[in-house]
A and B are shown apart, each in its own frame.
Chain A
Amino acid sequence: EAQVTQNPRYLITVTGKKLTVTCSQNMNHEYMSWYRQDPGLGLRQIYYSMNVEVTDKGDVPEGYKVSRKEKRNFPLILESPSPNQTSLYFCASSTTGYNEQFFGPGTRLTVL
């Protein structure tokens, strides 16, 4: 089944404790992206990747890191999480950036 998977689905952590949210797709997509969803703000792009080893900032990259060492994986790293990073995070992939994006199930992160 073609899908985008994210882990963990739910995470409660404390300020400053490094964490990684994994994202994997099995559709051989070139383009992958991370978004955060906050009430009243919609989805805002954090980082995107056009291909392996090619990443670029989205609209809200501060406090986040990404890497794209393999085509299928695109982890999101929070080196020192803060409470304002409490949000619902979605990973997405597509053949190219301008095509339909396929979204993962989301990761709900709470930073205390």
Chain B
Amino acid sequence: AQSVSQHNHHVILSEAASLELGCNYSYGGTVNLFWYVQYPGQHLQLLLKYFSGDPLVKGIKGFEAEFIKSKFSFNLRKPSVQWSDTAEYFCAVFTGGGNKLTFGTGTQLKVEL
């Protein structure tokens, strides 16, 4: 069965620091990859997605992610975080064979002023 690992469960950064959140998945076939964000008290929203093509994808609010097929990774990055980026971030993988979306356990990001 496919699985998604997010290694950082809690991350605390100061404003303007750079962010990188790790995501690894276990599936050898074609995948569609997503990062979702959940701001406090809100539902999940899509940050960015990768289906094919350029492995470096840009999303909303200055976030980007790089798909590295050989490493089964899809890490999320942002050069300079803001206090408003405080949220929980979820990596998710869709594999066509299973027709279902598998989420990682999430990373709680707290950005301090």
Which residues of A line the B interface, CB within 8 A?
33, 35, 40-45, 48, 50, 56, 58-59, 90, 92, 97-101, 103-106
Are B44 and A103 interface neighbours, CB within 8 A? yes
B63 CB–A CB distance under 8 Å: no
Interface residues of B (CB under 8 A from A): 6, 9, 32, 34, 42-46, 49, 51, 90, 92, 94, 96, 99-106
Across the A-B interface, how many residue pairs have beta carbons closer than 8 Å?
55
Residues of chain A contacted by B43 (CB below 8 angstroms): 90, 103-106
Q: Assess the A43–B90 pair: CB atoms within 8 A.
A: yes
- Which B residues lie within 8 Å of A98 (CB)? 32, 51, 94, 96
Select A42's contact among B32, B46, B100, B106, beta carbons within 8 Å: B106
| Chain B residue nearest to A48 in the complex (CB) | B100
Known contacts A42-B90, A43-B90, A106-B43, A101 near B101 by CB under 8 Å: yes
A-B contact pairs, 6 of them (CB 8 A): A42-B6, A43-B103, A48-B100, A90-B44, A98-B32, A103-B45
Q: B91 → chain A, closest Cβ, in Å?
A: 9
Return chain B residues, CB-CB under 8 Å to A99: 32
Judging by beta carbons under 8 Å apart, are B103 and A97 in contact?
Answer: no
Chain A residues lying within 8 Å of B32, measured Cβ to Cβ, are 98-99
Given contacts A97-B94, A100-B34, are A58 and B100 in contact (CB under 8 A)? yes
B100 touches A97 (CB 8 A): yes
Q: Cα distance A59–B101 when bound, in Å?
A: 10
